[in-house]
Structure 1
Amino acid sequence: MPWTSAGLPHPAHPGAMAAMLALLALLCLLAAYGDMRARRIANRLCLAIAALAVPYWFALAGGEGLLTLLRHAAWALLLAVPLCALFAARLLGGGDVKLLLALALWIVPHDWPLLIVATVLLGGLVALGAALHHRIARSCGAPSVPYGVAIVAAALLVLVPVAKGLAVSLASAAG
């Protein structure tokens, strides 16, 4: 029986999932802050986000967690091809690519189009804000865009239905 709009099954360990989603949100916010502050997304944050996906999928799928994670990793490898092309064309930074691939382990593949569209739209807003800030500050050269902020915002937006479904699951278990 699906418990989210994404059609995910009833979680095996909803409390653990809630804790991991909260930790994911914290790690994402740290990545966005680092990108805003220094235009860098720390490798350790991307690695932590990717590593945290392992217990997340086990908490969701129980014994099927490894298979689910392997499917997500295979899809993420497919996503790596166009992301690396964007990096090679200097349209996306290396940290942005690593962050997107780490987050791809969390997001079901049929939600990736939403992730990409939301990232592009939010990235446009971030770019506009960076351009305005650049102009107001009367800085020289081209403005630098912290695209990780858009990536994080889009990923958290995509994960909202999962969090809502988890909240419903926890409430029904408690009541």
Structure 2
Amino acid sequence: MAWSVLHWLLPAILLLLLLSAGIEDARRREIANWKNAAIALLAPLWWVTSGLAPWPDMAIQFGMALIVFALFCVAFHFGQMGGGDVKLIGALALWLPLTPLLQMLLVMSLAGGVLTLVMLADHHIRKSQRILEVPYGVAIVFGGLAVLHELLLNQFA
């Protein structure tokens, strides 16, 4: 019974943490480390309630998230993303199997492109001299929410 409740409660907590991170990034252009840590640390509990075997399922899940995190660390290195965004992507990747992870990255990329174009247009219209900072966490959250329904509604696939 307790695992069943947690199996439904954990994605709801993830939803709230993602929404909070997206709002914070939109307002302040930063995402609190505790939110990223909470998302990452709750993922193994999600794995257990989902019935993943420690080997190879949990190891594969961790490995995929590590690869995603490493790839986006390269973007951070070249100044294309903020550190909070990279941590958020890595933490969220811990929750998602391969297909939903790829779907999330695709939706995130499309949303990030649209967000960037809108912000560039606004930046140009306002003739702002400031450096444009795109709150890419908003796009990450949008991508995460797009696939989160699978965690909540498609439990028996």
Give the TM-score category using the shorter length: 0.7 to 0.9
| Residue aligning to 2:27 | 37
Candidates 89, 95, 110, aligned match of 1:100: 89
| Residue aligning to 1:58 | 48
Amino acid at match of 2:133: S
Aligned ranges for residues 78-89 of structure 1 at < 5 Å? Answer: 78-89=67-78
Amino acid at match of 2:23: Y
Shift of 1:158: 1.5
Whether 1:71 and 2:60 are equivalent positions in the alignment is yes
Shift of 1:60: 1.1
Alpha-carbon displacement from aligned partner over 1:80-128 (angstroms, at most 9, x marks no partner): 3321111111112111110000001001023222122111100012112
TM normalised by structure 1 equals: 0.79
Candidates 141, 145, 149, aligned match of 1:156: 145
Instruction: Give 5+ residue unaligned stretches, structure 2.
Output: none
CA contact 1:119–1:153 (8 Å) conserved in 2: yes
Shift of 1:144: 1.5
Whether 1:16 and 2:35 are equivalent positions in the alignment is no
Alpha-carbon displacement from aligned partner over 1:32-62 (angstroms, at most 9, x marks no partner): 1110111001111000000111211111117
Per mean C-alpha deviation after superposition, the further-off stretch among 143-152 and 132-141 is: 132-141
Amino acid at match of 1:24: L
Identity of matched residues, % = 34
| CA RMSD between the two structures | 2.1
Q: Counterparts of 2:125 and 2:151 in 1: how far apart (Å)?
A: 39
What's the secondary structure of 1:13's corresponding residue?
Answer: helix
Instruction: Give 5+ residue unaligned stretches, structure 1.
Output: 1-11, 170-175
Per mean C-alpha deviation after superposition, the further-off stretch among 41-50 and 88-97 is: 88-97
Amino acid at match of 1:49: I
User: Aligned residues, how many?
Assistant: 155
